[in-house]
Amino acid sequence: MIDVQAIKQRFGIIGNDPNLNRAVEVAAQVAATDLTVFINGESGTGKDVFPQIIHQNSARKHGPYFAINCGAIPEGTIDSELFGHEKGSFTGAYDTRKGYFETTDGGTLFLDEVAELPLATQARLLRVLENGEFVKVGSSKIQKTNVRVVAATNVDIPTAIEKGRFREDLYYRLNTVPIHIPALRERKADIRLLFRKFASDIAEKYRIPAIQLTPEALAMFENYRWDGNIRQLKNVTEQISIIETERVITPEILQNYLPAQTVLPTLFKDENRADAINERDILYKVLFDMKKDITELRKTVNELTSGQISTIQPMPQQQITPIQGTVVDYDNTQDAEVEYLQEKQASDNLSLVDKENEVIIKALRKYNGKRKDAANELGISERTLYRKIKEYNIKM
């Protein structure tokens, strides 16, 4: 008989939601096997705790345990990190290096954000899972490993498969035992418990009275969407505890700490595009508030080019007035206006780069340069954010 409450207490899991308890129970049950486990849930739900439950309750608990954030490792070095490399196999490979699949032999390897792996690395991972075999970068020697793999993602994998961004065979190999971690808004009854825990911890740490919520403020807390889940709830509780002098928090105070669901107007979340963690995301999101104008502009250009507009509107800042006794060449006028509109569209597109740069800087400043938190805010992976920082030469 599995004691779910004891496991939650040991690993600091707070909440009594049935779906949460079920996830803990499944993790404890599957721990005794060597089956691959696939954990799915939104960012900030605490997915990283469940691989530890599996490892500590397994026969491998005395073996090594490593947690790897696949989205935080640059694409060019991910194979070396996972599988190792031989000396001289690429620029900068000054020595032979062991990868995580070699150093974790006999233990458990947690691959977080596994959907961020490049397709070539996914093929290598599939081979390890099926045969326990891998080859170091720059080597031809096949090595064996005995590693228990637990993977996690906040991406809708079936959708990613349809888009060609994730291997279907790898998904079915990883998804031997699925565990879904419910979002915070799906277990509202636990919000009060989590708030009390975080408020108590911060009060004890800084030796200040713990904050309390009025019934109205608690209702606001429970009805808030919490896109950042437990991580966001903890941050908000800590902010209020430190900044506010009042210890009883009213809705008027609380509303200053609960931002609108879309913090940045360009960073909207489309729930029908869970596969949208890719390098174009941030640009598409910046494009959102300019989309209407650019669409109208393209329509006008197409109509002018195809000759569908018979009456030419005057170009901005330039009134075309025929001189008496002269002939106006309307074809040239139309060509000039088309050229103007095309130049304006190009200018608008170039301005997207500046907007994208500005949004990234705002997110980094908001989290004091912490890339992981900034990436979560932007809805992209750490690896994508790292590339953008390097591309725009952003220095914090």
- Domain boundaries along the sequence of the chain: 4-182, 185-254, 281-392
* 114 vs 156: CA distance, rounded Å: 12
Q: DSSP letters of 238-274?
A: HHHHHH-S-SEE-HHHHTTTS--SSSSTT----TT-T
Tens of pLDDT, residue by residue, the chain (396 residues): 789 999 999 999 999 999 999 999 999 999 999 999 999 999 999 999 999 999 999 999 999 999 999 999 998 899 999 999 999 888 888 899 999 999 999 999 999 999 999 999 999 999 999 999 999 999 999 999 999 999 999 999 999 999 999 999 999 999 999 999 999 999 999 999 999 999 999 999 999 999 999 999 999 999 999 999 999 999 999 999 999 999 999 999 999 999 875 434 434 444 444 334 444 455 545 554 455 566 666 666 666 666 554 444 444 444 444 444 444 444 454 555 545 555 555 555 555 667 777 778 887 887 778 887 777 777 777 777 777 787 778 876
Question: Which amino acid, one-letter code, is at 9?
Answer: Q
* 155 vs 115: CA distance, rounded Å: 7
CATH code for the domain defined by 4-182 = 3.40.50.300
Residue 37: how many CB atoms within 10 A of its CB? 25
Contacts for 181 with CB less than 8 Å, ≥ 6 apart: 20, 23, 39, 40, 41, 42, 45, 46, 47, 50
DSSP-assigned beta bridge partners for residue 112: 69
Residue 195: how many CB atoms within 10 A of its CB? 24
pLDDT value of position 373: 78
CATH code for the domain defined by 185-254 = 1.10.8.60
**Report field, pTM of the whole predicted structure over 0.75:** no
CA-to-CA dists, residue 56 to 62, 70, 102, 216, angstroms? 8, 22, 20, 41
pLDDT value of position 269: 42
